[in-house]
Every structure is written in structure tokens, then in C-alpha cells.
């Protein structure tokens, strides 16, 4: 007997996931963490605006 019809949102598997060993994480969270890493690297390498010339401080 089918209790929950297939078109009910509760039966939705709810997104894509990355499975690697014991790690189980949604693709959305992987993308967010990757963006945070990119922001971190950019914060280290991009020059701070208005203070590029040491002599003008």
C-alpha cells in the first residue's frame, strides 16, 4: 500500500550530495566552502585600496 504519493515534497531527496569515505556533504556547502577559500586567498593577495604607495602614508 502506498501511503505517501510520489509528488509530495516530503518525498523529495533534497539536493545533491558529495560522498567521499565517511564524509557526506551537500554540493551547496562544498561550493560555499570553496568560495570562502577563494575569498581568503584574495584577501591575502589583493592590494588594499588607497595604500599602495608606502611613501604617501
Partner 1 sequence: MSTPGRPAPLHPSGSWTVGLRDRLSRTVPAGQALPDRQPAYVASWIYVFGVLTLAALVVVIATGLVLSIEGAVWWHISDTGRFVNSLHLWSVEVFFAVMVVHLWGKFWMAAWRGDRALTWITGVLCFVGSIGTAFTGYLSQSNFDSQWISGQAKDGLNAVGIGAFFNVLDPAQMLLWHVVLLPLVVGVVVLWHIVLVRRHGVVPPIDAPEPPITTAIPPTPEGVLS
User: Mask: binding to partner 1, 10-29, rule CB under 8 A, as x and -?
Assistant: --------------------
C-beta of residue 37 within 8 angstroms of C-beta of residue 43: no
Rounded to a whole number of angstroms, the minimum distance from the CB of residue 8 to partner 1 is 13
Which residues, 6+ apart, have CB-to-CB distance to 43 below 8 Å? none
Give the Cβ contact number of residue 31 at 10 Å.
Answer: 10
Rounded to a whole number of angstroms, the minimum distance from the CB of residue 37 to partner 1 is 9
Instruction: List residues binding partner 1 (CB under 8 A).
Output: 32, 36, 39-40, 42-44, 46, 48, 51, 54, 57
Amino acid at each position: 500500500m502506498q501511503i505517501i504519493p510520489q509528488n509530495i515534497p516530503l518525498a523529495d531527496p533534497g539536493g545533491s550530495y558529495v560522498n567521499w569515505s565517511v564524509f557526506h556533504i551537500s554540493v551547496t556547502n562544498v561550493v560555499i566552502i570553496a568560495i570562502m577559500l577563494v575569498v581568503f586567498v584574495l584577501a591575502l593577495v589583493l592590494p588594499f585600496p588607497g595604500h599602495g604607495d608606502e611613501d604617501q602614508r
